[in-house]
Structure 1
Amino acid sequence: MDNMTNKNALMQPIDFDTWPRKQHFELFKNFTQPYFNVCVTLNAQRLFEYCQQHNRSFFQAYVYATLKACHQYSPIMLRVIDNKPWLLTSVRASVVELSEDDSFIFSYFNHSPTFTEFSSRATKVSKAAKSQPLFSDAFNQTEGQADLVHISVLPWLNFSSFSHAFSEGESLGIPKLVFGQYDKSTGLMPLSIDVHHSLMDGLHVAKFINVLQNNINDFCKE
């Protein structure tokens, strides 16, 4: 099953026989629920204050930092296609946003080399998405493809655990991230991350979070 518009251009096959995770992949890929979840706390004070001072969107800033981190850390770019591991060369963010009627829609943000470019495109995408129903043309053309990272935002909740709705069946191994409420008094913000255990272990999650935290810290240098 081809889950990509242009698979050869967007992903590379893994040499399965020499891949160190070959046995781990075989162990977990057929689990009914192959994902594991970790909840961590990010220090976003420097990012939040910078966005406030420079009239930039805090939401767009941490989504940008997340996409940048994905492109900097290859294990989170791994996917399961046709029961084999593949490495993406680029990912997009499928982001849950709130409509005026308090229902949610999906916006699809592409990775950009600069935040200025990312923000300009994201603002246009968000505006267009909020004028469409959930099952929009963008949804029909994009959801179900492997080159996505699912991002949700819960700015009303300072959670310490999280679980997703899921269905049984074939999984592409798409990571799922949920950002919680930013605490202005501490500068901290919770993040829930679900990853496919065939592709990543706890060590990989820790390394990815470190890359993301560094991007958040260094955002003001962009």
Structure 2
Amino acid sequence: MLNTDFTPIDQATWSRREYFYYFTKLSPLGFSLTVNLDITATKKWAQAHHVKFNAVYLYLASQALLAHPEMRVGKVDEQLVTYDVLHPSYTVMHADHTISNLWTAYDANFEQFYQNYLADLTTYGDVPGPMPKAPQSGNLFTIGSLPWVNFTSYTPLPFTPLTSFFPVLQAGKFITTDDGQITMPLSITIHHAVADGYHVSQYFNDLQALLTTPESALTAEA
């Protein structure tokens, strides 16, 4: 079931009110930060359980957002709201190297999420076009992967006014060290109106904790 629930933000009492005004009206600004995450344990878990790593990546990144309401701020009929959850919107590549954008409904139970993910790939994965599965809600966030390049910075550049303030996540190529550690660069780009460097650092810390002990999240009961 697609969760589209949200809570309206009362801007009169919102602790972020002045910062939101400043970074949207006086000095419109966003920022991007890239870190290397240790994915050794998660990669091994995915291999041992015969599941696609990309699905685990999408799930854990989405789960980490649950603890960060500042990253779930959107608009509904011009009203600022905080969504209960965000659903990952990601790209798939076709044989001719063109891409399509899909999305899968986040579910607290990983097994259910994984079955939803596989069903979306089966139904839409080979359909050409930029977005074969039409969006059904306003709480989709962009998350991708560039497995061909290990980067130190990645910054998407919007060319239209923002309708949400959700983060944009982009992963890069895995690097394996001599001692067997596997790392993955992950970039986050977000509007400064809703988040500061502190919030981003806390998100990365939370995500790294999930990646270090994936079994705690991936085998938990919903």
Q: Classify the TM-score, shorter chain.
A: 0.7 to 0.9
SS in 2 for 1:173: coil
Give, in angstroms, the shift of residue 209 of structure 1. 1.1
Aligned to 1:177: 169
Given candidates 10, 15, 20, the residue that maps to 1:25 is: 20
Give, in angstroms, the shift of residue 192 of structure 1. 0.5
Give, in angstroms, the shift of residue 146 of structure 1. 3.0
Aligned to 1:121: 116
Consecutive unaligned residues of structure 2, counting only runs of 5 or more, are none
Q: TM-score, normalised by structure 2?
A: 0.87
RMSD, aligned α-carbons: 2.2
CA contact (8 A) 2:73 2:164 kept: no
Give, in angstroms, the shift of residue 170 of structure 1. 3.8
Aligned to 1:206: 201
Which amino acid in the other structure matches residue 45 of structure 1? T
Correspondence 1:54 to 2:49: yes
Given candidates 66, 69, 79, the residue that maps to 1:71 is: 66
Give, in angstroms, the shift of residue 90 of structure 1. 2.1
Consecutive unaligned residues of structure 1, counting only runs of 5 or more, are none
Equivalences for 1:111-150 in 2 at 5 Å?
A: 111-136=106-131, 138-139=133-134, 141-142=135-136, 145-150=137-142
Give, in angstroms, the shift of residue 63 of structure 1. 0.8
Aligned to 2:187: 192
Aligned to 2:32: 37
SS in 2 for 1:17: coil
User: In 2, distance between residues paired with 1:107 and 1:31?
Assistant: 35
Number of aligned residue pairs = 213
Given candidates 142, 150, 159, the residue that maps to 2:151 is: 159
Instruction: Flag the structure with higher helix content.
Output: 1
CA contact (8 A) 1:79 1:199 kept: no
SS in 2 for 1:29: helix
- Change in Cα spacing, 1:170 to 1:64, as seen in structure 2 (3 Å) is closer
CA contact (8 A) 2:176 2:182 kept: yes
Deviations along 1:155-182, one digit per CA (max 9) or x if unpaired, are 1111001121321324311210001111
User: In 2, distance between residues paired with 1:41 and 1:83?
Assistant: 36
SS in 2 for 1:110: coil
Aligned to 2:160: 168
Identity %: 23
Which amino acid in the other structure matches residue 200 of structure 1? A
CA contact (8 A) 1:32 1:169 kept: no
User: In 2, distance between residues paired with 1:33 and 1:132?
Assistant: 37
Give, in angstroms, the shift of residue 136 of structure 1. 4.4
CA contact (8 A) 1:106 1:129 kept: no
SS in 1 for 2:149: coil
- Change in Cα spacing, 1:35 to 1:129, as seen in structure 2 (3 Å) is farther
Give, in angstroms, the shift of residue 189 of structure 1. 0.6
Moved over 4 A (4+): 80-84
